Amino acid sequence: MDGNNPDPAPVANREAELRKARKRQKRERKAELRRQRRKRLAVAWIAMGVVAACVYALVLVAYRDSTMGAAPPDLTDYDAIEVYLRPNKLTPADSTVVADVTVDVPRALIGDDTLLNEKIDLLLFNGSGSKVVSFAKGTPSLALATETTVRFGGGAYANYPLDRYATDVGLLAQVQTPAGLVWYPVELGVWGDIAGWQVGSDGGSAAIDAPVPATDDPTSAVAFASMNLRRAGSTLSIVALLLVALIAVAVLALVIAVAVSRRVRRTEATMAGWFAALLFAVVPLRLNMPGAPPIGAWIDFLVFMWVVLALMFALVVFVWSWMRFSPPPDLHGKEKHKSLLRNGKRRKHHAAGKAERPGPAKVP
């Protein structure tokens, strides 16, 4: 070996070791990045789980609070006739509510045999009508209950799901005593719960503290109580979720239609069925909203009508794109195939003829 030229073997070994070291460092960096990425993903998943659990708990608490009925009113005037009005069924289309009427009478109107010793007439009224409830003398005091229908002044069903119903109910009690007819002191309380609704009220009592002759002005003997019904928060949240779902369906359909029209994605004829299915699916979704009115409410003009129009537009754009960009069917494919076969046979026959044809004789 020439003394002036260094041995190339150690240099090559050092370069190989350096390459191995660089590869090892690169693998270690990639492994470290993967570990860090896994840690970040784990932290993100844990955080998302905690947030989801908190949201779930908040939803349950909100549902409990929104469906919890009001407490019974505390009517403490034991010398007055106490009347409890408890709504149990609301018909928004008719703006009426069916309510149970329970009556507690003072001890002065009950005999020793727990029967009424006087006849009692109760007049329940509001701005839309009135009803007289009578309890004859001798009626068991523990069976003073009936049912009545209260009609609200104005219908708000078209404002679903933000429709509210409110009225003021008045109560007047007339008792037949040995001295004659008198206006009796009364207290009126409204309370109860209806599935999907919240019932609110303010109780009231008459201004008089003792019976007054029926010939006097009955204004001071009237007890008023308010009755307010609105949809529970649980119902509102479900309606909001369904409206968001309708909007999301329309947006997704438009995105796909635009992508197909711009040739960003392939045009598949089977997707037309998907668009049509969406168009027909939104109608039952709208009709099956909790307590929803027939189509024509304000949410239909706010959301539903535009969702249907967007889906129809997306379907039209998709069909137009399919007609424009899809290749026509190969109606002559079979004839073309037969022509190719015939041409192939001719070429084979021609080649076979050339092989059999004798060549020119060689001159010696």
* 345 located within any domain: no
* 355 located within any domain: no
Strands, sheet with 81-91, edge to edge from the N-terminal-most edge strand: 145-151, 96-104, 81-91, 186-190, 204-205
Question: What are 133's strand-pairing partners?
Answer: 122
Claim to verify: residue 89 and residue 168 sit in the same structural domain: yes
209, 231, 253: which is the final residue of a domain? 231
Claim to verify: residue 219 and residue 138 sit in the same structural domain: yes
Claim to verify: residue 165 and residue 95 sit in the same structural domain: yes
Q: What are the C-alpha distances in Å from 119 to residues 136, 138, 144, 273?
A: 5, 8, 12, 72
Claim to verify: residue 87 and residue 221 sit in the same structural domain: yes
Claim to verify: residue 240 and residue 225 sit in the same structural domain: no
H/E stretch holding 119 reads strand 119-126
193-236 pLDDT, tens digit each: 888 888 888 777 777 778 888 778 888 888 888 888 888 888 88
- The predicted structure's pLDDT at residue 305: 93
Q: Spell out, as residue ranges, where the chain has pLDDT lower than 70.
A: 1-9, 11, 65-78, 154-155, 329-364
Claim to verify: residue 110 and residue 167 sit in the same structural domain: yes
* 89 located within any domain: yes
Name the residue type at position 79. D
Claim to verify: residue 53 and residue 157 sit in the same structural domain: no
Claim to verify: residue 215 and residue 88 sit in the same structural domain: yes
- The predicted structure's pLDDT at residue 252: 93
- The predicted structure's pLDDT at residue 251: 94
* 260 located within any domain: yes
* 74 located within any domain: no
Sign for the CA dihedral angle at 231, 165, 122, 185 comes to positive
67, 90, 125: which is the final residue of a domain? 67
* 334 located within any domain: no
Claim to verify: residue 93 and residue 209 sit in the same structural domain: yes
Collapse the DSSP code of 67 into the 3-class scheme (helix H, G, I; strand E, B; otherwise coil) and give the result. helix
- The predicted structure's pLDDT at residue 296: 85
Collapse the DSSP code of 218 into the 3-class scheme (helix H, G, I; strand E, B; otherwise coil) and give the result. helix
Domain total for the chain? 3
Print burial letters for 171-207: b (CB count within 10 Å at least 16), e (below 16).
bbbbbebeeeebbbbbbbbbbbbbebbbbebebbbbe
Burial of 105 (0-12, 13-18, 19+ CB in 10 A): buried
**Distance between CA atoms of residues 90 and 232, nearest Å:** 13
Burial of 90 (0-12, 13-18, 19+ CB in 10 A): buried
* 9 located within any domain: no
Claim to verify: residue 114 and residue 206 sit in the same structural domain: yes
* 25 located within any domain: yes
**Distance between CA atoms of residues 138 and 119, nearest Å:** 8
Claim to verify: residue 207 and residue 311 sit in the same structural domain: no
Q: Which domain holds residue 305?
A: 235-325
Claim to verify: residue 176 and residue 206 sit in the same structural domain: yes
Name the residue type at position 289. M
